[in-house]
Amino acid sequence: MRLSEYVEYDGTALASLVRAGEVTPLELTRLAREAHDEINPHINAVIELYDDAETVAGSDAGLFNGVPFLRKDIGATEAGRLQEKGSRLFKGHLPNTDSYFFCRAQAAGLRTIGRTTTPEFGSTVMTESILNGITGNPWNLEVSAGGSSGGTAAAVAAGITPIAHGSDGGGSIRIPAAWCGLVGLNPSRGRVSGGPNNQDASNGSSREFVLCRTVRDMAAALDVFSGPHPGDPFIIVQPNRPYVEELSQATGRLRIGVARTSWGALNLDPEVLRAVEATATLLQEMGHTVTDMEPPYEPVEYSRLYLAPTTARLLEAAARAMGRTISADTLEPVTLKRYEFSRDLSLFRAVNIEEALRKMRFCVGEAIHAFDILLTPTIPIVAVPHGGIYSATNPTVSAEQYAEADTAICQYTGVFNVTGQPSVSLPLAQSASGLPIGIQIVGRFGDEATLVRVARDLEEARPWRHWRPKVRAGNS
C-alpha cells in the first residue's frame, strides 16, 4: 500500500484490509510514520512518535484491528509513557496506570503510536503552548486547528492516522473537529469510563473519546470505548444494540430544535448561520419537524463556572507532586493569572458553583425537553489566526477577560458538557475561503443511537469525503 492510498481509508476500511490479509498492522504503522515524517514538520500536531511504535501491542481482532492511533497528551493515560499536559509544570511526567480507555483501545486492535499536542491543561480553544509551540490547521496553516484536542484533529485531518484520542470538557473535541473538517462526538456523561483514576472528571463535564473522518468510525468507536467499570459513580443506560448496527436502522421522524441566534456574547458569523439554515432545510426535507428555539441558558451564569477556587488547589497539588513551584517558569501567562485569581476565592464560592451547575442542568433540560435533537452551530465563527485573546500564552489577557472570551466562543458546546448530553460536530459546510464549518447535533441524555442515525443521514446527503485540506500526507 502506498501512502497516497493509506490516507484515503478510514479506520473501519483499514481494519477490513487487515482482516482480509491485504495489509498488515506493521505496514500500517510504517505508513503512519511516513505520513508523520512528511507532514508533522508543517503542522506540529504530534509531540512524540514512539521509538517502539512498530512493536506496540494490539489485539489481532476487534473492530479496529491493526489501525494506528494517537493519544492526546492529557486525560487518559498509558503506563510508562510521557503525559505532560501541554505544561512545563508536568514536563517529564510518567503515569504508572493504563486508563481503561487505552485498555479498550488495545483490545479493539488499535496501535497507539504517539501523543498529540494540547494547550496547557487542555484549557483553551487554541492548541499552542510555550512547551510545544503552535499547532497549525492543515486547511490553512495561518489559522488555529482549535483546542484543546487540536493536535489530534490536525493529525487526523492531515492523514497521519484515521482516528485518534481526544477529550472534551467544554468543546475540546467538537471545536477542533469543526475547524479541521472532522467528525467529533462528545458522548453522554458516563458513557465512556474515566477509570481507574479519573471517573466523572471535572464534576462530570469532561469526557474521553475520539476524532475521526467518518460516521461509521464514530459508531465503531462508541462500541469500542463505551461501557462501565467497577468504581464508576453511576451506570448510564446501555444501548439496545451495537452502535454499528444503528447505521442500518431507520431514523424515524424527529422533533428538531434549531439555534439560529447567538447563545452568548459572540455574534454568529453569517457564513456559519447559512450553514445551520441549510442543514435545517435538509432535515426538514427528510421529513423531520424543525422549530426555532431560544437560547436555553443565561450566558452570565455559564461564565461564572470558569473561575473556580478549585483551580488553585489542583495546581498547588500538582506542583507539590512534581516537586516544582508555581511561577511564570512553569505556567502559561493566562493560567498563572487564573491561578492567582482563583486562589483568593472562598470555599463558599465553590459551593455556589455546585449549585450553579445543578441549576443550569435543570433550566436547560426544561428548555429543550420538547425536542428529540437540537441543531446548532458547533462554534459561532470559522477558524481564527493564532494568538489573540483565546491563547493562554498571551501575556496581555486577564483571567476575567479570558473567561469571558472562552465562554463566548464555547457558547454552543460547553453547555452540553454541563448537562451531560451527547453532541457531535459534523463537517457539513465550508466558508468562502475554504475553511471547514462544523454543525452540531445534540441528543437526549444517553441517546447516542439517534445521533449515529442522524449523522449517517447527513453524511449520505451532504458527503464531505471529497473535501481535502491543503496540507495532507501523500500529496507530494
| pLDDT over 70 at 438, yes or no | yes
- Res 123 pLDDT > 80: yes
Question: Which CATH number fits the domain that encloses residue 249?
Answer: 3.90.1300.10
Mean pLDDT calculated for residue range 160-165: 98
What is the model's pLDDT at position 352? 75
The three-state DSSP-derived secondary structure of the chain is CCHHHHCCCCHHHHHHHHHCCCCCHHHHHHHHHHHHHHHHHHHCCEEEECCCHHHCCCCCCCCCCCCEEEEECCCCCCCCCCCCCCCHHHCCCCCCCCCHHHHHHHHCCCEEEEEECCCHHHCCCCCEECCCEECEECCEEEEECCCCCHHHHHHHHCCCCCEEEEEECCCCCHHHHHHHCCEEEECCCCCECCCCCCCCHHHHCCEEEEEECCHHHHHHHHHHHCECCCCCCCCCCCCCCCHHHHCCCCCCCCEEEECCCCCCCCCCCHHHHHHHHHHHHHHHHCCCEEEECCCCCCHHHHHHHHCCCHHHHHHHHHHHHHCCCCCCCCCCHHHHHHHHHHHCCCHHHHHHHHHHHHHHHHHHHHHHCCCCEEEEECCCCCCCECCHHHCCCCCCCCHHHHHHHHHHHCCCCHHHHHHCCCEEEEEEEECCCCCEEEEEEEECCCCHHHHHHHHHHHHHHCCCCCCCCCCCCCCC
Which has more pLDDT, 385 or 476? 385
Pairing mode of beta strands 111-116, 68-72:
parallel
Would 467 be classed as within a structural domain? no
* 135, 129 Cβ separation under 8 angstroms: no
User: In this structure, are residues 374 and 444 in contact, taking their beta carbons and an 8 Å threshold?
Assistant: no
In a domain, 197, yes or no: yes
Residue 470 lies in a domain: no
What are the grid coordinates assigned to 419, written together? 448537562
For residue 341, what pLDDT is reported? 84
pLDDT value of position 307: 59
Q: Active-site positions? A: 72, 148, 172
Instruction: Give the pLDDT confidence of 243-289 residue by residue, as tens digits.
Output: 999 999 999 999 999 999 999 999 999 999 999 999 999 999 999 99
Average pLDDT across the chain, whole number: 94
Closest CA to 76 of 160, 250, 192: 192
In a domain, 475, yes or no: no
Q: Which structural domain, as residue segments, surrounds residue 379?
A: 3-461
Cβ within 8 Å of residue 377, ≥6 positions away: 259, 268, 272, 273, 275, 276, 412, 437, 438, 439, 440
**391-417 pLDDT, tens per residue?**
999 999 998 899 899 999 999 999 999
Does 476 reside within a domain? no
**Spatial CA neighbour of 412 closest among 335, 321, 309, 299:** 299
Give residue 391's identity as a one-letter amino acid code. S
**Nearest residue to 18 (alpha-carbon basis) of 7, 5, 27, 31:** 27
Tell me the Ramachandran region of residue 267: left when phi exceeds 0, alpha when psi lies from -120 to 50, beta otherwise. beta
Q: Answer yes or no: is 389 within a domain.
A: yes
Q: Is the pLDDT of residue 353 over 90?
A: no
User: What's the total number of domains in the chain?
Assistant: 1
Buried b or exposed e, range 385-424, using 16+ CB within 10 angstroms: ebeebbbbbbeebebeebbbbbbbbbbbbbbbbbbbbbbb
Summarize the confidence of residues 355-365 as an average pLDDT. Answer: 89
CB 232 within 8 A of CB 349: no
Q: What is residue 367's predicted lDDT score, i.e. its pLDDT?
A: 93
Segment 194-243, tens digit of pLDDT: 999 988 888 788 999 999 999 999 999 999 999 999 889 989 999 999 99
- C-alpha R_g of the chain: 21
pLDDT band at 385 (very low <50, low <70, confident <90, very high): very high
- Distance, CA of 106 to CA of 119 (rounded, Å): 26
In angstroms, rounded to a whole number, what is the distance separating the alpha carbons of residues 439 and 433?
A: 17
471: in domain: no
% of the chain residues with pLDDT over 70: 96
Query: pLDDT tens-digit profile of 285-337?
Result: 999 999 999 999 987 767 666 655 557 888 999 999 999 999 999 999 999 99
Q: Is residue 476 very low, low, confident or very high in pLDDT (cuts 50, 70, 90)?
A: low
Q: Within a domain: residue 474?
A: no
Q: Report the alpha-carbon distance of residue 447 to residue 4 in Å, rounded.
A: 37
**What are the phi and psi torsion angles at 397 (to 5°)?**
-90, 130
59 contact partners, CB below 8 Å, separation of at least 6: 65, 106, 107, 108, 109
Mean pLDDT value across residues 28-36: 98
